[in-house]
Structure 1
Amino acid sequence: MEQSSEKVYALAFGAHPDDVELSCGAILLKIMNEGRRVAVCDLTKGELGTLGSVETRKAEAEKARLLMGYADRSGLDLGDGKLFYNEENLHAVIRVIRRFRPEVVFANPPDERHPDHMKASKLVADAVYYAGLRQLVTEHDGRKQEAHRPPHLFHYLQFRHVNPDIIVDVSETFAPSRAGVLAFGSQFHREGTEPETLINRKEFLSGLEARARYFGEQIGALYGEGLLTTKVPRVGNFSALFP
């Protein structure tokens, strides 16, 4: 059976390398600062991206892993632009979930400008459920995996503005999390003749900070990152949630 040494508290999926850092990196850093283990899984290599090569983006993802301090970062290579909803891709995501056995899963939002983000959202959300079915058999490293359904699934926010269900105070981790974002240097503005993309505009990174400041203002904090919930959260310890 699967060894427990790889178990993490939170597992964050991204359709492309950098999705996670750009959207919920400060939340992940906050979780790690609270003494919890975090893993990241990139569903594709980002090979259709306008900027950067597969090799460059792989190196950048590894650099981000080291700077952020993730327990693990893996890649599934499901195909940039080919994140189709099929049994093969679904089982690939299930294997990752069963490998790390997280309590919390983060995924792309269901309504987005990039089709891959929406496909990834559906794949991960369904895999979270199916990973809990004992009759669905998967293997990792030649060993049968135990069923595991993570109790919590959240969707982070990307390009489209929606009102989040939860805003996490990331005042202490927003600035440090920028190191994980900037690790993907090939994707951001550099002087030269490169074609302009959504995220390599000069204004992009300052726009991210402006959104974090806006969300922070909504909760009386310096910075905030928003999440969408998939079910009504259960409150057990009321005074711990609202000190």
Structure 2
Amino acid sequence: MERSSEKVYALAFGAHPDDVELSCGATLLKIIGEGKNVVVCDLTRGELGTLGSPENRQIEAEKAKEIMGYSSRISLDLGDGKLFYNEPNLLQIISVIRQFRPEVVFSNPPDERHPDHMKASRLVSEAVYYAGLKQLETTWHGITQAPFRPRHLLFYIQFKHLEPDFIVDISETFATSRKGILAFGSQFYREDCAGEPETLINRKEFLTSLEARARYLGEQIGVMYGEGMLLHGKMAVNNFSTLFSGNSVM
């Protein structure tokens, strides 16, 4: 017997809580604003992070979910620093894809500073493909799932400066996306954080750099703010006039 799925438009994976908000949160808000459902899946609890506890980060992740308006947020708890390419990890990710049956999947990029981000990218990339194979069996709460393969896999941009394949205009959603990021208060700069160990992302300059990148990408397409995406494979054009209905800069 197959369990009925919960069809959504977009499913965004992150190696750690806050990866999604930092990298494609404003794009997800744009999708939600267009009347479509979005689900986020954190592959780990971020328990190896220098700041905050796994329990607190879970609370922060739920707060971000409410601010952003996701339909659901899931933590697979695959182990921070343990995102190895193995069958159990792959099958868990496949089961999430088959449960929510998204048109579009977002993932950490394959070339990144943090090893977990690159490991997550490979796991999600291969899970997207294997999720469509009928002979590969997975279950959700003990019920056998039907095969399903998403139409598109997109990689968001994180620490490394990667040249995007396309840029999303996030001018109208940027401000709210910042609120989603700041829900993870244990990880970022606060006025009362004196005495805490300094990390790459809790420096005051880090949040400024995020805005600078969004402004830079926005400038490339003639808008205030942008988020860049990398394509996995090629994107087919079925409606040419719709594709070229937005802004462009020559």
Q: Per the shorter chain, which TM-score range?
A: over 0.9
Within 5 Å, which residues of 2 pair with 1:16-165?
Answer: 16-165=16-165
Structure 2: stretches of 5+ with no match in the other structure: 246-250
Count of aligned residue pairs for this structure pair: 242
Query: How far did 1:194 drift?
Result: 0.4
Which of 184, 188, 194 lines up with 2:196 in the alignment?
A: 194
Which whole-Å CA distance do the structure 2 matches of 1:142 and 1:192 have between them?
48
Which whole-Å CA distance do the structure 2 matches of 1:181 and 1:3 have between them?
33
Give % identity. 70
Which of 201, 215, 237 lines up with 1:213 in the alignment?
A: 215
Q: Is the counterpart of residue 222 in structure 1 residue 224 in structure 2? A: yes
CA distances 1:42-77 after superposition (whole Å, capped 9, x unpaired): 000000000000111000000000110000000000
Which whole-Å CA distance do the structure 2 matches of 1:162 and 1:142 have between them?
41
Within 5 Å, which residues of 2 pair with 1:146-185?
Answer: 146-185=146-185
Query: How far did 1:112 drift?
Result: 0.6
In the other structure, the counterpart of 1:241 is 243
Query: How far did 1:192 drift?
Result: 1.2
Query: How far did 1:189 drift?
Result: 1.2
In structure 2, the residue corresponding to 1:36 is in which secondary structure? coil
Q: Which moved more, 1:182-191 or 1:88-97?
A: 182-191
Query: How far did 1:2 drift?
Result: 2.7
Question: Structure 1 counterpart of 2:139, which letter?
Answer: E
Question: Structure 2 counterpart of 1:3, which letter?
Answer: S
Which whole-Å CA distance do the structure 1 matches of 2:7 and 2:75 have between them?
17
CA distances 1:108-160 after superposition (whole Å, capped 9, x unpaired): 00011100000000000000000000000111112110000001000000000
Say what the alpha-carbon RMSD is for the aligned residues.
0.7
CA distances 1:74-108 after superposition (whole Å, capped 9, x unpaired): 00000000000000000010000000000000000
4+ residue runs over 6 A deviation: none
Which whole-Å CA distance do the structure 2 matches of 1:38 and 1:47 have between them?
25
TM-score (norm 1): 0.98
Q: Is the counterpart of residue 2 in structure 1 residue 11 in structure 2? A: no
